[in-house]
A and B are shown apart, each in its own frame.
Chain A
Amino acid sequence: MSDMRYLPRAALSGLIDAIRDAGYRVIGPREETGQGGLVYREIDGVEDLPQGLHDRQEPGSYRLEKTGSPRYFAWANTASAIKPFVYAPREKLWRVVHKEGRIHFEPVERDAAKTAILGVRACDLAALELQDAHFLRGKFVDPYYKARREKLLLVAVNCSHAAATCFCASTGDGPEVSTGYDILLDELEDGYLLRVGSTRGAMIVADLPLQAATQGHLEAALAQSEACRAQQRVLPGEKDLARLGEQLESARWTKVAERCLSCGNCTAVCPTCFCHRELEVPALDGKSSEHWRDADSCFSEDHSYIVGEVVRHGTRERYRQWMTHKLFNWVPQYGRIGCTGCGRCTTWCPVGIDFVAEANIVLGLAEAPEPELPHVDGSEAAQ
């Protein structure tokens, strides 16, 4: 317990200053003006943090409420993950110049800025670990991802409540952060329990007015985490998910496809999705061209295009690809499922498809709910 310190709330701005003094731009959760959601954006100080804001999430719904609490981190998670700060949704890979019949390839300078992210959740840290496995630990290292990853400082904050869409307890990735952070905070009523996870983190907090953490602080933090563990949604366990490969012809895929719009929102907000397409952007004067990559989705029509045919030709095939990749095929690829329980796919699905419920139904662990038919009576019709 000796590594646990206490940071009064008034000193949080000091932490942000210390991070900035170490040369980092600071990214934190902030309310997206006029959009009603929290996103990670650059912040100037504590005044940009969502003090007293609480999120209410349901399938297809995300609402912020004012609570009057002095807390800055009393929300479950943000609309987008921290993924865009490491694996960029758009990225120039190289440039090519056409001159006198020759073509000259020029690599892109990779000078990533030192970036600190404040308020990282356990689900997103676990997802970062999965993206590291994909982009850094395979046969080929992705130099663009690597450049940003190496410049990243992570200040995690344990969740104080779970949203209705959260299920990190069942994937084993939360609610507490256990690894992968530089600094870890538990937000309490009047301050923060603080732990350091790296030398870099230790150097940043060295000059802060840290106090000794009391037994009361520890108990309060533990109680908070314990409360977060009670989550409404539970993903099937490893053994059950291992049966997903036997369900490829399940009738349920057709049922999901009747509701799924194939819009790709789920893949856009997913903290582990890595698919991207390569794009060519030629200059108008014809003298040069740029080669980019753009985030792609397995729900897009041309994702599985090969000459003359599309392998996954319908929504049924695409939803099946999305779920079986995430919960089944990720295991041979990276040794575990590709889901960390953040619940964003369910929250941001415009028709409210519940990823966890669908997994349970496909595996025969839950009954499919009776479809709710719209009431057609006088009062409804009058609207």
Chain B
Amino acid sequence: MKTDNAYLPWEAEIVDTIQETPDIFTWKLRFTDREVARNYSFKHGQFNMLYLYGVGEVAISVMSNDGECIYHTIRAVGRITKAMMKLPIGAHIGVRGPFGSAWPLDEARGKDVVFVTAGLGCAPVTSSIKYVVANRAAYGRLVIMQSVRHRNEGLWEPQYDEWRTLPDTQVLLTASRDKTRWPHWSLGRVSVLLDEAQYDKQNCVVMMCGPDAMMADTARTLVELGVPAESLFVSLERNMQCAVGHCGHCQLGGKFVCKDGPIFVWPQVAELMRVKGY
């Protein structure tokens, strides 16, 4: 991130748009200034502020960076993201970042790795899953638990099927509002998957992303099942406008989610997430 003025975006071109589902799309973006592209690097779990001309900015986690282009998977839910989905290939946007803390992928080496996600929560962790898959030998078992409301909202199902075939890997999917139980799919919320998951509770790292309530419930259950609280990590979503800890909107107790987070080790936020509306 530039040091003199972290508020000023860089220009980037939309090189490609992949429509993942009716309301989820992935952007392939290239910085116009090649110097910026060369110096840009992110850690899994960090986010960028994406700027739509004349409208404003939105915080989106970075999916990947192939050295030339960066990728973002975005759900069109708000004023800005809905308009972003309509931008044609070749259009230009603003990008600044990366901001925030990262998933503990280095600390997780040699341990079992568990991902728990709900909704679009899978997007911020997919880059980490790919990283673990690419460095498979460095990690123990890989368990991926993903919950969606309906199976057709599930992103990248073929990729999940592919991961399922990897050694020492479990992919557990569930749909909370479907009536039909498809092969490889359970019915219910993510909690129904926890019993099936096989991993070393004493030697694992759990990374969670999704609604606050899902992460809090899962974290408490896992602690009860014997996973140390220090092994649990959550990615929080709050109102982010400046991304540098100045504007104050993302505060959760004494934390600025944009710069102290968005990834927190569970004990940092466990008590705060108990308080409704804090």
Interface residues of A (CB under 8 A from B): 93-94, 96, 98, 101-105, 107, 134-135, 138-143, 245, 248-249, 274-280, 282, 286, 289, 291, 293, 296, 298, 302-308, 311-314, 316-317, 320-321, 324-325, 328-333
Contacts and interface: CB of A to CB of B under 8 A. Distances in A.
B110 interface: no
Query: Closest 4 CB pairs between A and B?
Result: A275-B248, A332-B254, A140-B244, A282-B54
Given A138-B245, A142-B246, A317 B277 contact: yes
Contacts of A317: 277-278
B51 to A, nearest CB: 8
Contacts of B92: 101-103
Interface in B238-277: 238-239, 241-242, 244-249, 251, 253-256, 259, 271, 275, 277
A303 B53 CA distance: 23
A140 B245 contact: yes
B275 to A, nearest CB: 5
Given A93-B7, A291-B56, A316-B277, 9 more contacts: A102-B11, A105-B10, A140-B6, A140-B246, A141-B3, A277-B249, A282-B54, A311-B238, A317-B278
B277 A312 contact: yes
Given A101-B92, A138-B259, A317-B278, A280 B238 contact: no
A98 B247 contact: no
B253 to A, nearest CB: 5
Nearest to B6: A140
Contact of A274 (B5, B9, B93, B246): B246
Give the interface centre of A245, A277, A306, A317 by most chain B CB atoms within 10 Å.
A306
B14 to A, nearest CB: 11
A107 to B, nearest CB: 6
Interface residues of B, number: 43
A308 B77 contact: yes
13 contacts: A101-B90, A102-B11, A104-B11, A105-B9, A134-B246, A139-B259, A276-B246, A302-B239, A307-B77, A311-B278, A320-B278, A329-B251, A331-B254
Contacts of A135: 246
Interface string B53-78: 11111000000000000000000011
Interface string B1-45: 001111111110000000000000000000010000000000000
B166 interface: no
Contacts of A104: 11
Contacts of B248: 274-276, 296, 298
B277 A280 contact: no
B238 A306 contact: yes
A109 to B, nearest CB: 12
A36 B105 CA distance: 61
B91 interface: yes
Contacts of A331: 254
B265 to A, nearest CB: 15
Give the interface centre of B3, B245, B249, B256 by most chain A CB atoms within 10 Å.
B249
Nearest to B241: A278
A102 B13 CA distance: 9
A93 B57 CA distance: 13
Give the interface centre of B8, B53, B77, B277 by most chain A CB atoms within 10 Å.
B277
B277 A311 contact: yes
A106 to B, nearest CB: 9
A65 B94 CA distance: 54
Nearest to B277: A317
A329 to B, nearest CB: 4
Nearest to A281: B54
B237 interface: yes
Give the interface centre of A248, A282, A305 by most chain B CB atoms within 10 Å.
A248
Contacts of B7: 93-94, 143, 291
A304 B246 contact: no
A211 B4 CA distance: 46
B246 A296 contact: no
Nearest to A333: B254
Contacts of B3: 141
B247 A278 contact: yes
A155 B233 CA distance: 49
B254 A248 contact: no
B249 to A, nearest CB: 6
Contacts of B249: 275, 277, 296, 303-304
A289 B53 contact: yes
B54 A280 contact: yes
